[in-house]
Chains A and B, each alone.
Chain A
Amino acid sequence: MVTSVLRRIRVVVGSIGDDIHVVGITLLGHALRNAGADVIQLGIQTSPAEFVAAAVTEDADAVFVSSSNGHAGIFCPDLVAGLREAGADPILYVGGNLSVSAATPWDEVRERFARMGFDRVYPPRTLPDQAVRDLAADLRARGSSDLPEQGSQNV
């Protein structure tokens, strides 16, 4: 399953705040690692400050926040502000169940996190492979990488 589409790319992954859901970040970590990335897995219940510290000390190219308990909106503003304060500029992704009420329209949720500063916002049931493809494309768009052209990656 291992490819090298994200070789040498450094990625921080974790669930934020009071969220204990471990399956999403586990699968995301596997997918990114199998695509060649160096994955810094922060695990469940990671505070915004821990995300910022890891992004800075690990010189992360990207930060992935996965959340399932609907509380991501409470903690994510501090994460974005902390990164700005620290002068770090990783590509920011957030995904999962991002609102407490399932009745909240998805466009509203996406808009809220996009305004916060996230580069991509993923709805529930997104597969990890999507994140791998998007990260590769976003890195190329930033011109910060010598990544190979996107092909059919077996991840």
Chain B
Amino acid sequence: MSDQVSNEMLDLDELRAQRASVFHRQLSREPYDLDEAWDFARSNAERCGMAATLARAKSTGDTVAIPRAGVAHWDAQLELMRTLSAAGAGVVPITVDSLTRSLKFEDAAKALAQSTPDRSVLNGYPLLAHGVERTRELISSVDRPVIVRANAIDLRLVAETAFASGATGFVSGPMYATLEYSKLGSLEVSIPNWQYIFRLMGEYAAHGVPIVEDAIGFAQSGTCSVPSLMHVGVVLDALIMAGQGVKHIVPYQMLQGHVAQDVAGCLAVGTLTDEYLAKLGFGDVRTYVASSDWNGAFPSRQPDAYGLLAANVLACAIARTPVNYVKTIEEGIGVPTAAANAASIRFTRYLTHLISRQAASLISPEVQFELELNLMEARAILDAVLDMGDGDPVRGSISALAVGVLDIPFSPNVHVRGNVLPVRDADGAVRFLDRGALPLPAAALRIEAERLASRRARSGSGELSYQDVIDDLSFLEFEEPTLPEGGDPHS
């Protein structure tokens, strides 16, 4: 292995050495026997594999609805997965708890011991505490492919355990996990952790077990962002995945409530991911675009939440994305009940069924406009990042981040410049209020400014202020209820 982190494929002997070291350090045991794991995982993937499900959806123009869910107790997790499957989820999730995600395996085991089928002390399924055998049993008991969902800068043992247990989908990557979720983690440290996971996935794929990896990129948590910038993170994560042999990638598009811009985002992120994968010699990688319901504040009223889901699903159906990650009508209240999850999945499937066949007639000139703008902006940033790494996306990302050529808004990470700010235009599409040092072409800057003119004109001073950015945080809420004390705010 070279001293400098790069996109070069990890040597197999080096992977073996790292596996031994990580298992010893974090779990005080030998690594799982991969030959044994591949045997189980291969027959399990043939029975119910996520890649096959997504490939089928992509070829027929269907959308697979996937919820997010995880609880501590094994019986309750099985019940939850069966309920979601019966409601029409095409792939069912195991969301891992945050103690496990932060490598506190013993604490997670203690909290599991305090959990019952009716009461989960943890905010997800403690994968390491349950272990490979029990999780194989769980995954074998459901009739849908299983995706393990977690996000942190070191998920090596979570990934090992997920794959050995039969998960055929996994989530995240260095851009998202590091720059959106960690305060102090640097790309130099987190990218090798992720390369370990991607190399392991590559080995599973080479042994007949295709595993799908979600490239979330720069999807914001809680706020909006400019789609082209979100695409940049997705493409960089995808290039780093492909560099280690990952063959099935899900480029993400977070939906933000502006239908034309959301449709364009779904189309653009697929185009860009395929384009840059091919450009860097990874043309054999299959991609399946996922639209993902709005990540920020949801309306607490259920009818309003249905409305927001509808705007999201409309975009997903027009763009005909093979995957939609479904939030629920109780998102604005808290952790959803199984019934709310089931209703939201059903609603999503119904509306995609209705709209997707009309998709071609709904690609408006405004969608084309947004699509061209997204492509122009994202290519300019991606090309600059790759240039800074002499064509290597890992080196380029690290160098570009240091000087703000790669930059995102509202990052908790200290290595991010954070000079970029998004703001919605008068119609609700998201634009750059401040582009920081992002290398956007002059033509794009002119268009961005023109599109913000109507919102500028609407403000008293003719200028946009921080208040506009703050107002945007609750853009997708409407007439929030102010009921007398004791009233039910959710009715």
Interface on A for B, CB 8 Å cutoff? 1, 20, 22-23, 26-27, 29-31, 33, 41-45, 127-129, 154
Complex CA distance for A129 and B222, rounded to whole angstroms: 23
Closest CB of chain A to B415's CB: distance in Å? 10
Closest CB of chain A to B178's CB: distance in Å? 14
- A26-B409, A30-B421, A154-B463 given; A45·B223 CB < 8 A: no
Evaluate contact between B223 and A30: CB separation under 8 angstroms.
Answer: no
Evaluate contact between B223 and A23: CB separation under 8 angstroms.
Answer: yes
Complex CA distance for A41 and B413, rounded to whole angstroms: 10
Interface on B for A, CB 8 Å cutoff? 183, 222-223, 409-414, 418-419, 421, 434, 463, 465-467, 469-470, 473
- A1-B434, A23-B223 given; A29·B418 CB < 8 A: yes
Evaluate contact between B473 and A128: CB separation under 8 angstroms.
Answer: no
- A26-B410, A30-B434, A43-B413 given; A129·B465 CB < 8 A: yes
25 examples of A-B residue contacts, CB within 8 angstroms: A1-B434, A22-B410, A22-B412, A23-B222, A23-B223, A26-B409, A26-B410, A26-B418, A27-B466, A27-B469, A29-B418, A30-B419, A30-B466, A33-B419, A41-B418, A42-B414, A43-B183, A43-B412, A44-B183, A45-B183, A127-B465, A127-B466, A128-B466, A129-B465, A154-B463
Closest CB of chain A to B453's CB: distance in Å? 16
Closest CB of chain B to A33's CB: distance in Å? 8
Nearest CB to that of B433 among chain A residues? A1
Contacts of B434 in A (CB 8 A): 1, 30
Contacts of A20 in B (CB 8 A): 412
Closest CB of chain B to A22's CB: distance in Å? 5
Complex CA distance for A26 and B222, rounded to whole angstroms: 14
Contacts of A26 in B (CB 8 A): 409-410, 418, 421
Closest CB of chain B to A83's CB: distance in Å? 21
Complex CA distance for A26 and B183, rounded to whole angstroms: 14
Evaluate contact between B410 and A23: CB separation under 8 angstroms.
Answer: yes
Evaluate contact between B469 and A22: CB separation under 8 angstroms.
Answer: no
Contacts of B409 in A (CB 8 A): 26
Contacts of A33 in B (CB 8 A): 419
Evaluate contact between A127 and B473: CB separation under 8 angstroms.
Answer: no
Closest CB of chain B to A131's CB: distance in Å? 10
Evaluate contact between A23 and B473: CB separation under 8 angstroms.
Answer: yes
Contacts of B465 in A (CB 8 A): 127, 129
Contacts of B412 in A (CB 8 A): 20, 22, 43-44
Contacts of B466 in A (CB 8 A): 27, 30-31, 127-129
Closest CB of chain A to B146's CB: distance in Å? 30
Interface centre among A20, A31, A42, A43 (most CB of B within 10 A): A43
Closest CB of chain B to A107's CB: distance in Å? 23
Query: B411, B413, B418, B467: which contacts A127 (Cβ < 8 A)?
Result: B467
Closest CB of chain A to B101's CB: distance in Å? 15
Contacts of A45 in B (CB 8 A): 183
Closest CB of chain A to B129's CB: distance in Å? 25
Contacts of B411 in A (CB 8 A): 22
